[in-house]
A = this chain, B = another copy of it.
Amino acid sequence: MPFLSFIGLALRSLLHPRSSRLNLFQLYSRTMSAGQERSLGDLTLDENVPSTGRSEEEKATKKAAKAAEKAAREAEKAAKVALRGVKQAAMTTADPDDPLRDQYGDLELVQSKTSCTKSFVRVEDLNEALVGQKVLIRSRVHNVRGKGSSAFLVLRQRTATVQATLFADDETVSKGMVKYASQITRESIVDVGGVICAPLKPIEGCSQSQVELKVDYIRVVSRAVILPFEITDAARSEDEIKAAESRGEKMATVSQDIRLDNRFLDLRTPANQAIFKVQSAVCQLFKELLLNQGFQEIHSPKLIAGASEGGASVFKLEYKGMPACLAQSPQLYKQMAICADMERVFEVGPVFRAEDSYTHRHLCEFMGLDFEMQIYEHYFEVLDVIEKLFEHIFNGLATRFGKELSVISQQYPFEMPVFKPLRLTFPEGIAMLQESGYPDVDPLGDLNTAAERRLGALVKEKYGTDFYVLHRYPAAVRPFYTMPCSDDPQYSNSYDVFIRGEEIISGAQRIHDPDMLTERALACGIEIDTIRSYIDSFRFGAPPHGGAGIGLERVVMLYCGLDNIRKTSLFPRDPKRLTP
């Protein structure tokens, strides 16, 4: 360990004098983690950098970074060899002369030798009612502190933690056992047995503060090597860091890129555990409501011939000798499902956008929650579904996932969003902006991000809701297949939906008449030949229909008031990131 620390420190200062938490293993895994070479200069990229202006700056730093990289590479190579050569110095087996030797030492590799011989208890279920009972727990070692004849561990299981203690008494705990426990590395997985006790005073910093575990059995299931960063450092809130600073202390922080490079470690923080439970919950609530409303789930192909919507950038590839691309949206297929009489369909699937947007809310691959439905008379039928859907999601999260939301807010404080159904027309929105003195809004143009945010704030002020629908967008800013308004073709039967002033949904009534579709495409300067099969799919009787596409990561981000979409994507993909 001292040797490793030395190399780590040496490399850290050599390569990244400014980086507070970069060590040997981290560097090592960066190099190893892909067939892709990412510039070390990217390490400190700010997460909120907008897409424009960045490339200039980058070019300037690129040269310097490359030189540093080259030097680093040699050093890393040497370090890697060293790392592989060094064995863990920690004690892994019990002292054979210890009468209590059967109570500790690394567990034999779990290889399905035994079945149903052990009964494990969950950390979150430990409470005062269990005091005096023997339990067995499999968890991570979140922290460990050895002190002569005693050892204190914090055991962590997802968002729950509990203190475990060992005091050498030669009856239930030996000195060897304490030594063994003290040397277990953080993040190792252990089986710990013992008796639940009530501590003299509540345990600070553990989720289970009213109980602790008096250990009489401890075995390592899987041993962790030195970590690229500490989970505790990654789990700290801005407030804690600032509070420490005001006391004159400097707390370690972990940059977004280092987190993402080691995402499976970063995901272990309580906030991340909760964020992805919430993400799972949003999917669950989405499906619950739609199945309940007579929708059925479909799965459309992601490999398609030609560009799915034309225009925006697509990822291209070769498919068995044919030119292909990745679907930018399930739009056409959802519509074909409607033309195939499925009436109401939804899809949860990846959406691929090869755009160069390096913002806080764009990804190159994200999860689309799409639905499409027959319209009998009016696109308000779609808005009815959207409002029911978000009422269900907002209520469902608040009532069924309150614990997770509370865990997220401990690291990333946020106010619960308010849901009240509200529909404003685009012209009404423009009027609100203009009345508030917002400059330069084009009544027939689109809203930019700043205008959207401002309108969100105005809506919150006036109507008291964090959720609203803006509909009747100018036709010019929507795709050619959007149904125009019958009373004014400058506007369209389209809508966006906002949470906290940011767009999460875009949708519309689609043109289901092939002649009108042709006419609109021509008016928009689209070559008919490129979209003929799309147009033709409406020639065999097409029901009027509309739908919407929702970005899953955005819903979670905006519901929880998070500042970056990378926080709500399990393994984010942006123009600079393809790994892990």
Interface residues of A (CB under 8 A from B): 29, 32-36, 109-118, 120, 138, 140-141, 157-158, 185, 187-189, 221-225, 227, 263-265, 267-268, 272-273, 276-277, 279-280, 283-284, 287, 291, 296-306, 315-320, 322-324, 326, 333, 336-337, 339-343, 348-350, 352, 354, 356, 364-365, 367, 374-381, 483-487, 493, 509, 512-513, 516, 532-533, 536-544, 552, 570-571, 573, 575-576, 578-580
Query: Which residue from chain B places its CB closest to the CB of A110 in the assembled complex?
Result: B544
A528 to chain B, nearest CB (A): 10
Q: Tell me the bound Cα distance from A552 to B299 in angstroms.
A: 10
Interface SS, A side: loop
- 7 further interface pairs, Cβ-Cβ under 8 Å (given A34-B533, A109-B516, A188-B541): A113-B377, A115-B377, A267-B342, A305-B578, A305-B579, A315-B318, A336-B580
Cross-chain contact B189 with A543 (CB below 8 angstroms): yes
Query: Which residue from chain B places its CB closest to the CB of A545 in the assembled complex?
Result: B110
A487 to chain B, nearest CB (A): 8
Q: Tell me the bound Cα distance from A484 to B111 in angstroms.
A: 8
Determine the chain B residues whose CB is within 8 A of the CB of A324 once the complex forms.
578
Determine the chain B residues whose CB is within 8 A of the CB of A225 once the complex forms.
539-540
Query: Which residue from chain B places its CB closest to the CB of A38 in the assembled complex?
Result: B322
Determine the chain B residues whose CB is within 8 A of the CB of A342 once the complex forms.
158, 267, 273, 276
Cross-chain contact A265 with B340 (CB below 8 angstroms): yes
Cross-chain contact A533 with B29 (CB below 8 angstroms): yes
Determine the chain B residues whose CB is within 8 A of the CB of A304 once the complex forms.
578-579
Most buried by B among A113, A267, A322: A322
Cross-chain contact B227 with A540 (CB below 8 angstroms): yes
Cross-chain contact B112 with A189 (CB below 8 angstroms): no
Q: Contacts A35-B305, A35-B306, A287-B287; is A320 near B354 (CB within 8 Å)?
A: yes
Cross-chain contact B486 with A336 (CB below 8 angstroms): no
Q: Tell me the bound Cα distance from A303 to B354 in angstroms.
A: 11
Q: Contacts A340-B267, A343-B158; is A578 near B303 (CB within 8 Å)?
A: yes
Determine the chain B residues whose CB is within 8 A of the CB of A343 once the complex forms.
158
Q: Tell me the bound Cα distance from A541 to B300 in angstroms.
A: 38
Determine the chain B residues whose CB is within 8 A of the CB of A378 once the complex forms.
112-116
Q: Tell me the bound Cα distance from A352 to B301 in angstroms.
A: 10
Query: Which residue from chain B places its CB closest to the CB of A346 in the assembled complex?
Result: B280
Cross-chain contact A570 with B111 (CB below 8 angstroms): no
Query: Which residue from chain B places its CB closest to the CB of A140 in the assembled complex?
Result: B541
Cross-chain contact A189 with B541 (CB below 8 angstroms): yes
Q: Contact partner of A541 among B120, B223, B377, CB < 8 A?
A: B223
Determine the chain B residues whose CB is within 8 A of the CB of A120 once the complex forms.
376
Cross-chain contact B377 with A110 (CB below 8 angstroms): yes
Q: Tell me the bound Cα distance from A264 to B267 in angstroms.
A: 42
A70 to chain B, nearest CB (A): 20
Cross-chain contact A375 with B110 (CB below 8 angstroms): yes
Q: Contacts A188-B541, A348-B348, A380-B112; is A303 near B375 (CB within 8 Å)?
A: no
Cross-chain contact A317 with B320 (CB below 8 angstroms): no
Q: Tell me the bound Cα distance from A354 to B379 in angstroms.
A: 41
Q: Tell me the bound Cα distance from A265 to B381 in angstroms.
A: 26
Determine the chain B residues whose CB is within 8 A of the CB of A300 once the complex forms.
570-571
Q: Tell me the bound Cα distance from A374 to B191 in angstroms.
A: 14
Cross-chain contact A576 with B320 (CB below 8 angstroms): yes
Cross-chain contact A299 with B109 (CB below 8 angstroms): no
Q: Contacts A336-B263, A542-B189; is A284 near B284 (CB within 8 Å)?
A: no
Determine the chain B residues whose CB is within 8 A of the CB of A305 once the complex forms.
34-36, 578-579
A555 to chain B, nearest CB (A): 13
Q: Contact partner of A222 among B283, B319, B541, CB < 8 A?
A: B541
Cross-chain contact B540 with A187 (CB below 8 angstroms): yes
Q: Tell me the bound Cα distance from A315 to B301 in angstroms.
A: 14
A140 to chain B, nearest CB (A): 6
